[in-house]
C-alpha cells in the first residue's frame, strides 16, 4: 500500500461497474483483490444492499450497453501478448495459479477485473484514463483502435464466476436508497471517496494527536487484551469490532510489522511531544509542486512520467530519478529509447512501457530532457573523444575486469559476463555521456543518492581509463 | 461517574477471568520423531512478533507427518509463544508464533511430543532478537549485501550469487564467517575482498557506508551466525599462546 493511494471518485461509478459488484466489494474488498487497501466495514447484507443502491443512484448512469459477443479465444491470446508487451504488469498485478499476486502495486490488481468492469467502460478507459478519473496515475498510451480491442479482451477475460454467483439484488425501493445515504454518512465513506450529494466530513474520526498520552483509566479494554496502551492500540487496529459491534472503525488488513509501526507512531503522539520546541522537530520535506514546462510538460503530464519517475523532488520511486538525465544520456539514444524502450537491467521485472510515441513526441521529450535536466556539478561535454586514448581504454579493460571487478554486477560482453544487478553495458558508449561515466565512477552517490552503485572514490586516472573503455562499447542492438 | 467507573471495574475483572490458560488438548495419535519444518532461522528485532511462525512436524516411522499428535512448545528468556500447545494437522505440522523478549540475543525454544510409550521427544529451535545496531545492519544488508550473499531469489530481487566466481558466504554461515576476526570482517566490508587477499568481486563499501554503518553490518553478521559466534575472550586468547617458558622467568 502506498501513502499516495487516492481512493477513486464514485460520481461515475455506475458507468464502470455493476451494483452487484459494489455489493460484493463493500462486504469484503479482499474477496475481489488480495491487495485491496479499502478496509472491511463488516456490513450486514441489508446495509450493503442499501449502500450499493445509494452509490449507484448518485452516480451518472451508463450509456446503453452494446451487448457485443465475447471476444474469441484468439483475440484474448493476442490481448495477453499485448498486455505483456506493454508491460502492464509493471503497475498491475494478477494472481497466478498459486494465488500469488505477480506484478506491480501502482495500479489496481486485475485478477478478477472482468467480473468488475463493464465491457463498454473497459474499452473506453485506455483511450483517455484521465477523462474518467482526473487524478489517475495511469499513462495515456497511444494505442490504435485495433490495439485497444485486442488489449482489453485480456483483462476482460479475467473473471471469477464465484464472486457474484450468489448475489441477486432486486431494484431498490426509494426507502432503501434513503437508508443507504444515511449509512454512507454514518460510515464516513465521503472522508475518502468523492460522492455526489455527500459533503466531505471534517474531523470524522476522533483526534489522535495526543493518543500516546491517553490515561489508562480512560481506556475501555475489550476482553482478553493486556492492560497496556500499546496492546490497546494494536487491538483497536487489528480488531476494532472487538470493542463493540456498533463501532464505526473498519478493519484494515495489516501485517504484523505494519501494526507495530502504526502503534509506534501513535505512541509518539503525546502531549509532551506537542510542547517540544519547534527547533527540535524534523519536518517532512515540503511536497514539491514541480511542473515541467511547455509542450514537453504537457506530454509528460499526459504520459504520467511522474507516476514512476521523480524529477526535482516530485514523483514516485519505481523508476530512476530523471532530474539530471540530460547530463547522463545521449540525445540520439534517448529518442530511440522513448520510441521503443528496451531492457537495461536484466533481472528487473518492472519495466518502462512502450507508449507508441510518434517521432515528433519522442523528439520533443528528448530535447527538453537533454536541455533542462542537467546537473550543475559538471558540463556533460567536458570529456570529448580526443581526451580518451586507446591506451586508456586498454588499461580500462584490465581495471574493469580486474581491480574493480565491474563484471560482478554488469554485463558488458554477453558471451562471458553474467552480473544481474546493474544495467547491461553492451552499448553504453551509445547511451551515456563520457563526463557522466567519469563522475559516476568517482562518486555515483553524489549524482544519485541512494543508488546501488558504490561510491568508488576512484582516482582520476582509473576513472578516465574505465570511461575510455566503456565509451568503446557500441555493440549493435540485437 | 461512579457508575461508569464501576462498569469499567466489572469489565476489567471479567476480562481477567477470561485470560485463564487454554486447556491442553488430548493427543489422538503418537509419532516416533519430531522435526523442525520451519526452514530458516526466525530473526526479528527485540520485542517483535515474528512474521513467520515456527513449525514442528511429528513423523511416523516412515517419516510421514501424522495428524493428532500433541506438541507442546516452551520458550525461555521472556519469549512468548502462541499457541503453547496443540495437535498436529493433517500434514503432521503445527505452527506457533513467537513474540521475542525485550533483550537481544538467542531465544531457545523447544517443542516436545511423546511417543506411544510416553517417552518425550524434543526438537530445539532458536529465535534471534536483534538489537538496534543489528537491526540497522540488517536493513543495510537487505539493500547492499543480500543480492550477492543470499542465494534465494524472489521476483523482486533476483540473486546474483551464481554469477560470481568467488562464491559469497551466506551471513548465517557461521562455520566460515566466525573464523574471520573482528578487524578483518570490518576490513573486508570497508576495503573489499582484496584487503584480506580475497576476490575483488567483493567491492569496498568504505566511502559508501560510514564506519558506524559498517560496524552495524558486522554486528548483524555476528548476530545471525549459525553456529553462534562467540568472540575470542581473554581466556581463549591465552589458551592459544604457547605456555610461558619457566627458565625465562625472572630474567
Please state, in angstroms and as integers, the Cα–Cα distance from residue A88 to each residue in A105, A106, A109, following that order.
11, 10, 11
% chain B with pLDDT above 90: 57
- CB distance B15–A102 less than 8 Å? no
- A contacts of B206 (beta carbons < 8 Å): 457
Q: Which residues of A touch B (CB under 8 A)?
A: 102, 217, 220-225, 227, 255-257, 260, 347, 349, 402-405, 408-409, 418-421, 443, 445, 452, 454-457
End-to-end CA distance of chain B: 87
pLDDT, tens digit, 9 for 90 and up, residues A263-276: 999 999 999 888 88
The more confident residue out of A420 and A365 is: A365
Q: Which residues of A66-87 are buried (b: 16+ CB within 10 A; e: fewer)?
A: eeeeebeeebbebbbebbeebb
The answer to whether residues A23 and A169 touch, using CB atoms and an 8 Å cutoff, is: yes
pLDDT, tens digit, 9 for 90 and up, residues B46-100: 988 888 899 999 999 898 999 999 999 999 888 999 899 999 999 999 999 999 9
The answer to whether residues B144 and B207 touch, using CB atoms and an 8 Å cutoff, is: no
pTM for the whole thing?
0.81
pLDDT number for residue B13: 42
The answer to whether residues B108 and B125 touch, using CB atoms and an 8 Å cutoff, is: yes
According to DSSP H, which parts of A226-330 are helical?
229-238, 256-267, 271-275, 294-303, 325-328
Q: Is the pLDDT of residue A1 over 60?
A: no
- CB distance B15–A255 less than 8 Å? no
Please state, in angstroms and as integers, the Cα–Cα distance from residue B90 to each residue in B36, B58, B82, following that order.
16, 11, 20
Which residues fall within 8 angstroms of residue A368, CB to CB, at 6 or more apart?
A292, A294, A296, A297
Give the pLDDT band (50/70/90) at residue A242: confident
What is the nearest CA distance from A452 to chain B, expressed in angstroms?
Answer: 7
pLDDT number for residue B22: 65
pLDDT mean over B99-116: 92
pLDDT number for residue B241: 52
Burial of B199 (0-12, 13-18, 19+ CB in 10 A): middle
pLDDT number for residue B250: 41
pLDDT number for residue A404: 94
Q: Is the pLDDT of residue A375 over 80?
A: yes
What is the nearest CA distance from A415 to chain B, expressed in angstroms?
Answer: 13
User: Which residue among B51, B157, B200 places its CB closest to the CB of A402?
Assistant: B200
Q: Is the pLDDT of residue B171 over 70?
A: yes
Which residues fall within 8 angstroms of residue A458, CB to CB, at 6 or more apart?
A404, A441, A442, A466
ipTM value: 0.78
pLDDT number for residue A257: 83
C-alpha R_g of chain B: 24
B94 φ/ψ angles, rounded to the nearest 5 degrees: -140, 140
**DSSP helix/strand/coil, A182:** helix
| B52 touching A (Cβ < 8 Å) | no
As given in the structure block, the three cell numbers for residue B98 are 513467537
Mean pLDDT of chain A: 90
pLDDT, tens digit, 9 for 90 and up, residues A43-96: 999 999 999 999 999 999 887 766 666 777 788 899 999 998 888 988 999 988
pLDDT mean over A420-443: 94
**CA-CA distance, A400 to A422, in Å (whole number)?**
14
The more confident residue out of A221 and B24 is: A221
Amino acid at each position: 500500500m502506498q501513502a499516495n493511494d487516492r481512493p477513486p471518485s464514485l460520481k461515475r461509478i455506475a458507468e464502470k461497474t455493476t451494483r452487484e459488484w459494489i455489493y460484493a466489494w463493500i462486504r469484503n474488498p479482499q474477496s475481489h483483490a488480495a491487495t485491496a487497501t479499502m478496509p472491511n466495514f463488516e456490513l450486514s447484507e441489508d446495509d450493503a444492499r442499501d449502500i450499493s443502491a445509494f452509490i449507484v443512484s448518485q452516480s451518472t448512469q451508463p450509456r446503453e450497453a452494446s451487448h457485443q459477443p465475447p471476444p474469441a479465444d484468439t483475440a484474448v491470446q493476442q490481448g495477453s501478448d499485448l498486455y505483456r508487451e506493454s508491460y502492464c504488469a509493471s503497475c498491475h498485478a494478477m494472481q497466478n495459479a498459486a494465488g500469488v499476486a505477480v506484478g506491480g502495486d501502482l495500479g489496481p490488481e486485475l485478477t478478477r477485473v472482468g467480473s468488475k468492469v463493464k465491457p463498454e467502460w473497459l474499452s473506453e478507459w485506455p483511450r483517455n484514463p484521465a477523462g474518467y478519473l482526473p487524478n489517475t496515475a495511469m499513462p495515456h498510451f497511444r494505442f490504435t483502435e485495433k490495439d485497444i480491442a485486442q488489449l482489453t479482451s485480456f483483462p476482460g477475460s479475467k473473471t471469477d464466476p464465484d464472486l457474484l454467483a450468489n448475489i441477486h439484488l432486486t431494484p431498490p425501493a426509494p426507502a432503501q436508497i434513503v437508508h443507504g445515504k444515511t449509512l454512507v454518512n454514518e460510515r464516513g465513506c465521503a472522508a475518502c471517496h468523492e460522492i455526489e450529494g455527500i459533503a466531505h466530513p471534517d474531523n470524522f474520526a476522533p483526534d489522535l494527536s495526543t493518543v500516546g498520552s491517553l490515561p489508562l483509566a480512560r481506556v475501555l479494554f475489550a476482553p482478553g487484551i493486556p492492560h497496556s496502551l500499546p496492546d490497546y492500540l494494536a487491538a483497536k487496529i487489528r480488531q476494532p469490532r472487538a470493542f463493540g459491534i456498533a463501532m464505526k472503525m473498519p478493519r484494515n488488513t495489516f501485517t504484523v510489522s505494519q501494526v507495530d509501526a502504526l502503534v509506534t507512531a501513535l505512541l509518539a503522539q503525546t502531549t509532551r511531544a506537542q510542547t517540544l520546541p519547534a527547533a527540535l522537530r524534523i519536518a517532512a520535506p515540503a511536497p514539491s509542486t514541480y511542473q515541467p514546462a511547455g509542450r514537453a510538460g504537457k506530454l509528460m503530464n499526459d504520459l504520467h512520467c511522474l507516476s514512476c519517475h521523480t524529477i526535482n523532488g516530485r514523483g514516485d520511486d519505481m523508476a530512476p530519478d530523471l532530474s539530471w538525465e540530460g547530463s547522463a544520456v545521449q540525445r540520439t539514444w534517448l529518442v530511440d529509447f522513448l520510441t521503443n524502450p528496451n531492457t537495461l537491467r536484466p533481472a528487473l521485472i518492472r519495466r518502462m512501457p512502450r507508449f507508441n510515441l510518434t517521432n515528433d513526441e519522442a523528439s520533443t521529450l528528448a530535447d527538453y530532457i537533454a536541455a533542462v535536466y542537467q546537473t550543475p556539478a559538471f558540463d556533460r561535454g567536458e570529456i570529448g573523444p580526443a581526451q580518451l586514448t586507446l591506451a586508456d581504454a586498454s588499461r580500462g579493460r584490465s581495471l574493469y575486469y580486474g581491480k574493480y571487478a565491474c563484471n560482478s554486477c554488469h554485463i558488458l560482453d554477453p558471451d562471458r559476463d553474467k552480473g544481474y544487478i546493474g544495467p547491461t553495458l553492451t552499448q553504453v558508449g551509445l547511451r551515456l555521456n563520457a563526463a557522466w561515466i567519469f563522475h559516476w565512477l568517482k562518486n555515483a552517490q553524489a549524482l544519485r543518492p541512494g543508488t546501488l552503485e558504490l561510491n568508488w572514490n576512484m582516482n582520476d586516472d582509473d576513472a578516465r581509463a574505465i570511461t575510455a573503455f566503456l565509451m568503446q562499447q557500441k555493440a549493435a542492438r540485437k | 461517574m461512579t457508575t461508569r467507573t464501576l462498569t469499567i471495574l466489572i469489565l476489567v475483572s471479567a476480562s481477567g477471568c477470561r485470560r485463564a490458560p487454554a486447556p491442553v488438548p488430548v493427543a489422538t495419535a503418537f509419532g516416533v520423531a519430531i522435526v523442525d519444518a520451519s526452514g530458516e532461522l526466525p530473526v526479528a528485532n527485540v520485542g517483535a512478533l515474528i512474521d513467520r511462525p515456527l513449525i514442528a512436524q511429528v513423523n511416523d516411522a516412515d517419516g510421514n507427518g501424522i495428524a493428532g499428535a500433541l506438541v507442546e512448545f516452551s520458550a525461555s528468556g521472556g519469549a512468548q509463544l502462541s499457541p503453547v500447545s496443540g495437535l498436529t494437522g493433517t500434514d503432521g505440522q503445527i505452527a506457533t508464533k513467537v513474540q521475542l523478549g525485550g533483550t537481544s540475543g538467542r531465544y531457545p525454544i523447544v517443542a516436545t511430543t511423546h511417543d506411544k510409550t510416553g517417552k518425550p521427544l524434543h526438537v530445539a529451535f532458536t529465535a534471534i532478537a536483534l538489537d538496534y545496531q543489528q537491526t540497522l545492519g540488517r536493513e543495510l544488508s537487505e539493500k547492499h549485501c543480500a543480492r550477492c550473499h543470499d542465494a534465494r531469489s524472489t521476483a523482486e530481487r533476483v540473486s546474483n550469487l551464481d554469477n560470481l566466481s568467488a562464491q559469497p558466504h551466506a551471513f548465517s554461515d557461521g562455520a566460515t564467517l566466525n573464523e574471520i576476526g573482528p578487524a578483518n570482517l570490518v576490513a573486508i566490508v570497508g576495503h573489499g575482498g582484496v584487503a584480506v587477499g580475497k576476490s575483488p568481486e567483493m567491492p569496498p563499501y568504505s566511502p559508501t557506508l560510514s564506519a558506524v554503518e559498517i560496524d552495524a553490518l558486522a554486528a548483524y553478521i555476528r548476530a545471525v551466525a549459525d553456529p553462534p559466534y562467540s568472540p575470542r575472550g581473554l581466556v581463549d586468547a591465552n589458551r592459544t599462546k604457547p605456555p610461558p617458558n619457566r627458565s625465562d622467568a625472572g630474567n
